[in-house]
A = this chain, B = another copy of it.
Amino acid sequence: MHAVGIDIGGTKIAGALVDEAGTIIQELRVPSPISDSGSMVDAIAAVIDQLTAGHQVVGVGVAAAGFISADREIMFHSPNIAAWRNEPLKSRIQEKTSHPVLLENDANAAGWAEFRFGAGRGSNSMIMLTIGTGVGGAVISEGRLLKGGFGIGGELGHIVSIPGGRDCGCGLKGCIETYASGTALLQAARDLAESSDSLGARLRQLNSEHGLLTGEHVFQAVMEDDPGALKLISELGEQLGTAIGSIFVPILDPELVVIGGGVSAVGERLLEPIRTSYSKSMPAKGYRPELKIVKAQFLNQAGLIGAADLARQSFS
């Protein structure tokens, strides 16, 4: 039987009907009416209705950014939807549909999709780092999604990797997210383009052609092997590799690290510097097996696929 996955973003609600092998049968996107909670819930319910019309489904998994209570009933706080503060989101959605509903953090759902059907298939303990606007995280520990005591574990982007470093939206300074997100990369590229550094030549050129550098221009420059853009992606990878070796490995000891999100599209140009720094940063090197670092298989659809599968696991 199929399951439904819903991924609630700041600008759109995505929904999909997903089969047992994690394949998307049908997909649908509508704008997010983020201004009020009632309209959001109605829009989610409408997506569920549309996807389930004429289909039997085992349940609905809803993925959203934010802190969700350990019992997966309450959205404590969501960065995208201000109205969701201590919101009983699961029951609000459940009231609008006859299918059983499961709520999960979006980065966790994406990690679960990779673990079950993607780059993490066959592994037992893995972490996923989603390098997008921020740095999302998910931890699969011995076959189970780590939720944490209050439900908000696996926030791998908010470890402090540089004490006293850059200001982070979470209130701390020096979170890995402030150095290794797509946002940080774009800012570094704009800074380089605006500097007089000769390494910034190509980025400066793209900047003057287009008015303002975007993530796509940075991606283009990286794929052209522009030395300036490569240096920036390499510095980003170094931050991630250091965090993997010196923080995630001693605590979680994963066999596998999956790198996803928009920035991961540059592939080996990012993975190689991550591997090099990881290898220099792990404790007791030579006395322990070494993990693998690979690119995610799914991109935008990971949250949908993972949410649907978590619902399947829970309700079948």
Instruction: List residues of chain A with CB under 8 Å of any chain B CB.
Output: 67, 70, 76-77, 123-126, 137, 139, 141-142, 144, 146-163, 168, 170-172, 175, 242, 246-248, 250-256, 281-285, 287-289, 291
A148 pairs with B246, CB closer than 8 A: no
- Return the 4 tightest CB-CB contacts between A and B, nearest first: A148-B253, A125-B149, A153-B253, A149-B255
Bound Cα distance from A256 to B150, whole angstroms = 10
**Chain B nearest CB: distance from A34 CB in Å?**
18
Shortest Cβ distance from A142 into B: residue: B147
Bound Cα distance from A242 to B297, whole angstroms = 35
Inside 8 A of A67's CB, which chain B residues have their CB? 284, 287-288
17 pairs from A and B in contact (CB 8 Å cutoff): A76-B287, A77-B288, A124-B149, A125-B148, A141-B141, A142-B149, A148-B253, A149-B254, A153-B250, A153-B253, A155-B283, A159-B251, A162-B163, A171-B283, A171-B284, A172-B281, A247-B247
Inside 8 A of A171's CB, which chain B residues have their CB? 283-285
Bound Cα distance from A157 to B146, whole angstroms = 21
Bound Cα distance from A67 to B160, whole angstroms = 26
Inside 8 A of A158's CB, which chain B residues have their CB? 250, 283-284
Q: Name the residue in A144, A147, A175, A288 with the highest tally of chain B Cβ atoms < 10 Å from its Cβ.
A: A288
B255 pairs with A150, CB closer than 8 A: yes
Shortest Cβ distance from A70 into B: residue: B124
Bound Cα distance from A211 to B170, whole angstroms = 50
B154 pairs with A288, CB closer than 8 A: no
Bound Cα distance from A160 to B245, whole angstroms = 9
Bound Cα distance from A146 to B140, whole angstroms = 11
B246 pairs with A159, CB closer than 8 A: yes
Inside 8 A of A284's CB, which chain B residues have their CB? 67, 77, 158, 170-171
Inside 8 A of A287's CB, which chain B residues have their CB? 67, 76-77
Q: Contacts A123-B149, A162-B163: A251 and B250 contacting too (C-beta < 8 A)?
A: no
Inside 8 A of A139's CB, which chain B residues have their CB? 251
A148 pairs with B254, CB closer than 8 A: yes
B159 pairs with A247, CB closer than 8 A: yes
Bound Cα distance from A158 to B144, whole angstroms = 24
Bound Cα distance from A310 to B252, whole angstroms = 20
Bound Cα distance from A102 to B146, whole angstroms = 25
**Chain B nearest CB: distance from A138 CB in Å?**
11
**Chain B nearest CB: distance from A3 CB in Å?**
23
**Chain B nearest CB: distance from A171 CB in Å?**
6
Bound Cα distance from A252 to B283, whole angstroms = 19
